[in-house]
Amino acid sequence: MTPVEYRPTFIFWTSLIAVLPITLFMALWSGLFFGGMLSAFVQHPAFAGGMFGSAAWLIGVVVLVLFPVAALAARSLNYSNTVYRVFDDRIEIDEGFLTQHRKEVRFSAIREVNLRRGILQRLAGLGSVYLATLATGQGPQWQWSSIFGGNSTSASGVMFMDLTGSEVAYEEMLRRVRSAGGPAEGRA
């Protein structure tokens, strides 16, 4: 049978809003740290002004511009190289552009199916479907690499990230897991 394929959807504005907090932190931290170091070790009139001098501002502004550009480019490239293939008995995931991951999970091994729709995802009409196995651990959680669009294949679970029509994908995964002998309604 031909597999059903799902792909994550990259939406610029939701991705930009998602990276803003870490961008502001990185700009402030790198400006103060590297700007302070540069001012302390390089005695040049352009870097005068102490810890809050022009070196700190210059480095902070460069990071404020370049960090979101790099993060958005990485997420876009990762999403464009990610595909979730759903067969009758298993799911195959191929993802990544710098580090490529390939994973296969059988429906019979899946113990939990979750639908997650954060506020930005709901505004954009997206959602993520998380499939957990016994070895998965604590379930879906935020990780630093999610800024760049990673983490579909962490631990033993699988996350179909940022899907258009996530409710339909959730219902389909739940149906397949149940038909493979996975958790059924009312079972503990």
Task: Check if the beta carbon of residue 110 is closer than 8 Å to that of residue 174.
Answer: no
pLDDT at 49 exceeding the cut of 90? no
pLDDT at 151 exceeding the cut of 60? no
CATH number of the domain at 84-179, please? 2.30.29
Pairing of strands 101-106, 110-116: unpaired
Structure confidence by residue, pLDDT tens digits, 12-24: 999 999 999 999 9
Overall average pLDDT of the 126-154 stretch? 66
Q: Which residue has the tokens 């993802």?
A: 95
Determine which of 39-48, 113-122, 158-167 has the lowest per-residue pLDDT on average. 39-48
Task: Check if the beta carbon of residue 35 is closer than 8 Å to that of residue 60.
Answer: yes
pLDDT at 120 exceeding the cut of 80? yes
Residue ranges per structural domain of the chain: 12-78, 84-179
d(CA 62, CA 124): 29
Q: What is the pLDDT of residue 182?
A: 64
d(CA 185, CA 9): 30
* Amino acid, single-letter form, for residue 93: I
**pTM of structure:** 0.75
pLDDT band of 184, cuts 50, 70, 90: low
